[in-house]
Structures are given as structure tokens and as C-alpha cells.
Structure 1
Amino acid sequence: MTSVLVFALTGVGLIVLGLYALLVQRHLLRKVLAFNVIGSGVFLLLAGLARRAPGAEPDPVPQAMVLTGIVVAVAATALALAMIQALRSATGRARLDDPGED
């Protein structure tokens, strides 16, 4: 088992786990955490697949994309947390409503 395969399988596993949590969880903070897990899986997948050949140097473009993505993910997380805090102060809760409730 090569290191590229280990990175790819771990990245796909994180993406699937994050998607599952994003769909199942009702609490908004847990949804933000699930979104961050998905992002970490994508970053790991991109970084792991950056090699073109087994003995060659890694491609710097996916590495630069990962670094840029980390900065964007931190900014998006901060914005999402600020929006959750504003929603909680306005409504008193940080959960999504059930479709059957009025």
C-alpha cells in the first residue's frame, strides 16, 4: 500500500464522515464542524495526490491550493460561527427547526 493510496483513502473517509454528519446533525455548530471535517478530507486528498510519479517531486500547485483553502476555511468558519451566535441571540437557540413543527 503506497502513501498516496493511504492519503486518498483517509481523505475520502473524512469526506464521507463529514457528509454523513452534515446531513444527520440538527445543531448548527455540529454542522460547521462537519463542514470543517469535509474540508480537511479534501485538503488531505489534494496533498496526497500532488505527486506525479513515485520518485518525482510533488507538484506545488495542489500544495498552494491547500494552503489557500485552509485560509478560506478559517475565514468561512469564523463567519459561520458569528452567524450562529447572531441567530442564537435573536432566537435563543442554535438548532434547525424540524419540518413538522410550527
Structure 2
Amino acid sequence: MIEAWGAALSTGWEGVSGLWSAGVSVWLPTGSALVLFGLLGMLLASSILRKLLAFNVMGSGIFVLLLALRPPGPSGVADPVAQALILTGIVIAIAATALGVRLARRYFELTGQTELPEDRDAARDD
């Protein structure tokens, strides 16, 4: 990474492409791992709040992937569209989390449980 910075400083803005590829090599696996862990948490967790946390981890991984895969802007400047998409996504994720917490709290008030019933149990009750 230090060599990439040195190359960018010595060659001007043409060396930024080396920085971009070095950043992708770090952020792409990180974002992919976050999405994978979030997806596994959504599938394996039984608690509503753990599912909500896994949903947020998955969303954070998507934000990191958007950051890693953004196209370079003109003259090596950061692309403002990608930044605006990520910022808008963060705001929407906060609103969705607040809604999910409220729904989980209401479910707890009605049933006294923090876990959802299994699909097989719910099908037998109908």
C-alpha cells in the first residue's frame, strides 16, 4: 500500500488507479464477508433482535461493497454519486432498524416471546 502511495505521488493522478486496485483488494473481501455473515445470521438466528442485527451487518457489507466498486470520478476525484448512494442507504438503514425494533417490541408485548415460531409449528397451528 505504501508503494502505491509513493507511485501516486511520483506520477501524479495517473498513479491513482494503482491506489484504487489496492483498495479493492482490501475492501472487496471485507464487504463480501460482512454480507455472508449477515446472511448466515438471518438464516440461522432465531431471536428477532439477532435477525435485525444480522440484517444491519449485511447492509454494512453492501455499503462497503459499494465503496469498493465505485467507479473513479473525473481526474481521480471521488465520485459524488457513490457517496450520495451510501449516505442515503445509511439513513434508510437507520429508519428500517427503528421500524424493526418497534415491531419486535410490539411482538414481545403481544406474545411475550422474543423468538419467532418455526414454520412447521406455525403451519400446524393453522
TM-score using structure 1 length: 0.90
Percent identity, aligned pairs only, is: 43
Unaligned 5+ segments in structure 1 are none
Superposed structure 1 runs of 4+ greater than 6 Å apart: none
Q: From 73, 77, 88, give the equivalent of 1:57.
A: 77
Q: How many residues align?
A: 101
Q: Which structure has the highest helix share of the two?
A: 2
Higher relative contact order (CA 8 A, sep 6+): 1
Query: What is the alpha-carbon root mean square deviation over aligned residues?
Result: 1.7
Q: From 33, 37, 40, give the equivalent of 2:60.
A: 40
Q: For each residue in 1:55-77, what CA deviation from the matched residue of structure 2 results, as whole angstroms up to 9, or x when unmatched?
A: 71221111100000000000000
2:44 aligned partner: 24
The amino acid across from 1:59 in the alignment is D
SS in 2 for 1:94: coil
Distance in 2, matches of 1:11 and 1:26, equals 24
Unaligned 5+ segments in structure 2 are 1-20
Q: From 78, 84, 91, give the equivalent of 1:71.
A: 91
Whose Rg is larger?
A: 2
Q: Does the CA-based 8 Å contact 1:50-1:60 persist in structure 2?
A: no
Q: From 90, 94, 101, give the equivalent of 2:114.
A: 94
Q: For each residue in 1:25-61, what CA deviation from the matched residue of structure 2 results, as whole angstroms up to 9, or x when unmatched?
A: 01000000000001000111111222428x7122111
